[in-house]
Amino acid sequence: MTVDPLTTDEAQVSPEDLNEEDKVMLVFSYLWVLAIVPFMVTRREYVRWHAKQGLILCGVACLVFLGVIFVGAVLATISRVFAWLFAFGLINLVLLYLAIAIVCVIKAMRGERWAIPFLGDLVEKI
């Protein structure tokens, strides 16, 4: 009887268990839409979990960015101050996304499954 690698439960993986391909795929998991690559290519459940979380993070970030851009564009017609405020807010959102992605990559390389607050529960449902 063979065990499918997709259904194997890997609660925690040690960094020594990760080969070079896994490490590259873990980095791709948190690089915007490049998270599709490890989701489609790899058969290792640990890497797929991080790819799913990366896809969810990317989707939520895109929606938030588009919402801020839309609201900022509408309010920028009222006053130039609103345009500067929303530009500042958008820069902060980009930096927040980068910080979360970097933390996720570091945790993934250490063999941890760190679920992003408010988004991590969605990973298990996909």
In a domain, 25, yes or no: yes
Q: 64 or 113, which is more confident?
A: 64
pLDDT in tens, 50-77: 888 888 888 888 999 999 889 888 888 8
Contacts 24+ apart (CB under 8 A), 106-113: 108/26, 108/29, 108/30, 108/50, 109/15, 109/18, 109/23, 109/26, 110/15, 111/12, 111/13, 111/14, 111/15, 111/17, 111/18, 112/12, 113/11, 113/12, 113/46, 113/49, 113/50
In a domain, 11, yes or no: no
In a domain, 10, yes or no: no
Could you tell me the residue range of the domain that residue 50 belongs to? 17-125
In a domain, 12, yes or no: no
In a domain, 6, yes or no: no
Name the pTM for this structure: 0.76
- Counting the structural domains of the chain, the total is 1
